[in-house]
């Protein structure tokens, strides 16, 4: 019997991701992305923030009415109007979740909300109760949780669970925490909140210091059962934890995390490219998992190793995430083995001596160009054979 824990993947590409400057999507694009997310196997799709605009309301409503295979979630602040609007947009979904949030840190309480700790607890309880009156799947987020006093965070989380929250999301709203702090805080919640077993703990980590993925995984190691993330890591400011990275980290390092998800990893690349297309945000070449270079090797030593045994330089296979193959890029760092392999793939038969001569011409050309294409190799071989 497997001892793996199931980790829910909550995708917020259409909500937090869309909050990223330059990433807004129209209704048709949101429907296409939502369907792709359901096909990818995400457990929960946060489809939007219904009170934010009539367009957001309509897209949550259409996604709730048409996309099947995942729970559809809508975001709401802790007030009646937001929660009522969220339910109005979600109510046709076979599985719906209302996600209510309220800031809890001293900075937010004092400067943004101007509310006392007691008022915060009361507002959280009232909001969660109202949402629980509409559906039995309610998530509560104490915004800026990691800059909230630990005792107060425990108090709010306990009260939210008593009021009916079935998931408690612990956001690192400003991407400030370190993996060690995340681990300790989640462990503390598990130890100090008496009713914590009645809810799933969720991670929601922003990437301001480049630690969004590491922080999400630290939370999982400490006992969290859900990760909130976005395709390509898009989101407010520096973004959110990237879905493709957290999923492949748990899959590739199953020996360490002992977790599984419902994600069909072969769909990661097509989904990433779809989100890139509709948002107009290019995927960086060196982006982990889905970047063009993620499975590309240029140096001669690496290419030689790869041709002998893939696991020398690949910890995952490109096919696992949706690429068709490893890319042995020919450039000035490449060696004879990769050139011979490419020539063979192109149907070009060379003697040892011919290969050596083509290789010398290839190195001269590679010093002048960033990348050598198949057409260049064919031309070099033809020149060699014809003696030019």
Positions touching Zn ion (CB under 5 A) are 16
Toward ligand KIV, which CB reaches closer, 108 or 302?
A: 108
Minimum gap (Å) between residue 259 Cβ and ligand KIV: 22
Minimum gap (Å) between residue 279 Cβ and ligand KIV: 18
Toward ligand KIV, which CB reaches closer, 12 or 334?
A: 12
Buried/exposed 132-156: b ≥16 CB within 10 Å, e otherwise: bebbebbbbbbbbbbbbeeebbbbb
Minimum gap (Å) between residue 336 Cβ and Zn ion: 50
Q: State the residues that interact with ligand KIV by CB under 6 A.
A: 16, 101, 141, 143, 169, 171, 173, 204, 206
Residue 223, sorted as left (phi over 0), alpha (psi -120 to 50) or beta, turns out to be left
Minimum gap (Å) between residue 106 Cβ and ligand KIV: 16
Contacts of 14 (CB under 8 A, 6+ apart): 25, 30, 33, 34, 37, 45, 46, 47, 48, 59, 63
Q: Which does 143 bind (CB under 5 to 8 A by kind): Zn ion, ligand KIV, none?
A: ligand KIV
Which candidate, 245, 181, 240, places its Cα nearest to that of 212?
240
Toward ligand KIV, which CB reaches closer, 171 or 318?
A: 171
Toward ligand KIV, which CB reaches closer, 138 or 329?
A: 138
Query: How many other C-beta atoms are found inside a 10 Å radius of the C-beta of residue 115?
Result: 17
Structural tokens at position 41: 């196997």
Token pair 């020919």 is found at: 330
Q: Which does 101 bind (CB under 5 to 8 A by kind): Zn ion, ligand KIV, none?
A: ligand KIV
Minimum gap (Å) between residue 271 Cβ and ligand KIV: 21
Q: Which does 267 bind (CB under 5 to 8 A by kind): Zn ion, ligand KIV, none?
A: none
Q: What are phi and psi of 219, to 5 degrees?
A: -65, -40
Query: Longest C-alpha distance within the chain, in Å?
Result: 87
Minimum gap (Å) between residue 42 Cβ and ligand KIV: 17
Q: Which does 141 bind (CB under 5 to 8 A by kind): ligand KIV, Zn ion, none?
A: ligand KIV
Toward ligand KIV, which CB reaches closer, 8 or 206?
A: 206
Toward ligand KIV, which CB reaches closer, 43 or 143?
A: 143
Sign of the C-alpha dihedral, residues 336, 338, 341, 343? negative
């Amino acid at each position: 019997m497997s001892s793996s824990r199931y980790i829910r993947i909550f995708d917020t590409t259409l909500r937090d991701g869309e909050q990223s400057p330059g990433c807004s999507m129209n209704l048709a694009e949101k429907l296409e992305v939502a369907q792709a997310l359901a096909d990818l196997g995400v457990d929960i799709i946060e489809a939007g923030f219904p009170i934010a605009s009539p367009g957001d309301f309509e897209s949550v409503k259409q996604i709730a009415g048409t996309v099947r295979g995942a729970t559809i979630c809508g975001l709401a602040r802790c007030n009646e109007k937001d929660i009522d609007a969220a339910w109005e947009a979600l109510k046709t979904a076979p599985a719906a979740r209302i996600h209510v949030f309220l800031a809890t840190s001293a900075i937010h309480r004092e400067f943004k909300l101007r509310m006392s700790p007691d008022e915060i607890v009361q507002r959280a309880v009232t909001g969660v109760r109202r949402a629980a009156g509409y559906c039995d799947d309610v998530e509560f987020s104490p915004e800026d949780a990691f800059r909230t006093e630990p005792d107060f965070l425990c108090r709010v989380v306990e009260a939210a669970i008593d009021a009916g929250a079935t998931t408690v999301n612990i956001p690192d709203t400003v991407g400030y925490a370190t993996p060690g702090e995340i681990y300790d805080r989640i462990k503390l919640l598990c130890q100090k909140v008496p009713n914590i077993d009645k809810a799933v703990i969720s991670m929601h980590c922003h990437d301001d210091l480049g630690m969004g993925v590491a922080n999400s995984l630290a939370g999982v190691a400490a006992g969290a059962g859900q990760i909130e993330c976005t395709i390509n890591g898009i989101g407010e400011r520096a973004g959110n934890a990237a879905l493709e990275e957290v999923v492949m980290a748990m899959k590739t390092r199953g020996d360490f995390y002992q977790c599984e998800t419902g994600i069909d990893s072969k769909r990661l690349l097509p989904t990433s490219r779809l989100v890139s297309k509709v948002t107009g945000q290019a995927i960086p070449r060196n982006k982990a998992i889905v970047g063009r270079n993620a499975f590309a090797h240029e140096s001669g030593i690496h290419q030689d190793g790869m041709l002998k045994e893939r696991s020398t330089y690949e910890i995952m296979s490109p096919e696992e995430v949706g690429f068709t193959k490893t890319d042995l890029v020919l450039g000035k760092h490449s060696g004879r083995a990769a050139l011979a392999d490419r020539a063979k793939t192109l149907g070009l038969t060379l003697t040892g001596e011919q290969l050596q001569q083509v290789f010398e011409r290839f190195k001269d050309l590679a010093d002048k160009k960033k990348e050598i294409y198949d057409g260049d190799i064919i031309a070099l071989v033809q020149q060699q054979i014809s003696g030019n």
